[in-house]
Amino acid sequence: MDITRKTFLTSALSGVVLAAMPRFAVAADGALHFKMGFTDPENSNYVQGGKKIASEVAALTDGRVQIDVYGSSQLGNERDMYEGAQIGAIDVPTVVNTVLSGFIPEMIVLDQPFLFDNVDQAHAAIDGKVGKLIEAKALAQGVHIVGWLESGFRNVFSDRPITRVEDFKNFKIRTMENRMQIAAFNALGATATPMAYGELFTALQQRTVDGCENAVGNMLASRFYEVLKNVTYTNHQYAYIAVGFSDKAWSQIPNDLKPKVQEGVRRGVQFQRQLLLDYNAKSVGELKTLGVAFHDIDREAVKNTVLPALAQFRKSMPKPWLDALAEYTA
């Protein structure tokens, strides 16, 4: 974080957020109260996972640790929540891995497409050595990552059927502002167009872009089916959402309760992961009734077209992180 931004955030967040919060999280009922933030809407499976974490933590600690969950960016966007946690202004941030990699550059290893063939591999990596490497880096930055929610595999949504690599030619696709994702779609012959997520629906309506990529459930949740009628199962990338505690919040939890808080988070994470799978499966059925067609593609052909274009990025990736990831990858 540059000095100017850090100074501004420290002033803004400390002066506004902290002014509205008690110096300590202990309330009149004797319980510790913390705020957990999401950028996703209240009805999303992510926020529901957060609420499950809160209920499990409350039950396991006999009500001594209470977590209030806020969706729809009420506590800020993901970058601001993470920075807020670093200075103690945000208690429990949730941050997608592509945003977190802006703070932990080594996480670029997870931006690589076609790492995993199935969810078991993806879970093993983040719950194992790769997750531990990330957690150590975040801890040095003042954030205790205690679990990983997820948004799962990402697929391509389009205004035309895409069933072959050749179909990507002249296809303008909205991507995240991620160099590796941009290079991957350009290698397929598409025109990668980075764009803020909040601008996407209008861009699709106006045909500024021809499609986008995301988890299949978001086709329904974000109403993309109103302007796009095709989904291609590329399963090209897997997305995680870190759940962390600020140093300030974590230090207030008595040592005897910390393992119970971690267990509550673990239970909530397992709940959300299954909820995501169920929601995606249900979404497919609903989307089909809304006229959306689902297509398979030769994933190996896509992969073999994309990976050579990404070799340049692997050269700068840290070997210990690549080695840890290699234990779980496809």
Q: 19 pLDDT exceeds 80?
A: no
The confidence score (pLDDT) of residue 25 equals 67
Q: Are residues 116 and 249 in the same domain?
A: yes
Q: Are residues 171 and 134 in the same domain?
A: no
Q: Look at 90-99, 103-112, 174-183, 267-276 and tell me which has the smallest mean pLDDT.
A: 174-183
Contact 295, 161 (CB under 8 A): yes
Q: Are residues 187 and 208 in the same domain?
A: yes
Give me the number of domains the chain comprises: 2
The confidence score (pLDDT) of residue 330 equals 59
**Beta 143-158 vs 230-246: how paired, if at all?**
antiparallel
Q: Are residues 228 and 214 in the same domain?
A: yes
The confidence score (pLDDT) of residue 267 equals 98
Which tens digit of pLDDT belongs to each residue from 198-252? 799 999 999 999 999 999 998 998 899 999 999 999 999 999 999 999 999 999 9
Burial class (CB in 10 A: 0-12, 13-18, 19+), 36: buried
Q: 4 pLDDT exceeds 60?
A: no
Average pLDDT over residues 106-126: 95
Q: Are residues 17 and 132 in the same domain?
A: yes
Q: Are residues 101 and 232 in the same domain?
A: no
CATH assignment at residue 190: 3.40.190.170
Q: Look at 52-56, 77-81, 163-167 and tell me which has the smallest mean pLDDT.
A: 77-81
Q: Are residues 185 and 172 in the same domain?
A: yes
> Of 115, 112, 106, whose CA–CA distance to 134 is shortest?
106
Which tens digit of pLDDT belongs to each residue from 264-310? 999 999 999 999 999 999 999 999 999 999 999 999 999 999 999 99
Q: Are residues 33 and 173 in the same domain?
A: no
The confidence score (pLDDT) of residue 322 equals 96
Structural domain harbouring 274: 3-152+239-282
Q: Are residues 125 and 23 in the same domain?
A: yes
Q: Are residues 72 and 200 in the same domain?
A: no
Q: Are residues 80 and 209 in the same domain?
A: no
Q: Are residues 205 and 266 in the same domain?
A: no
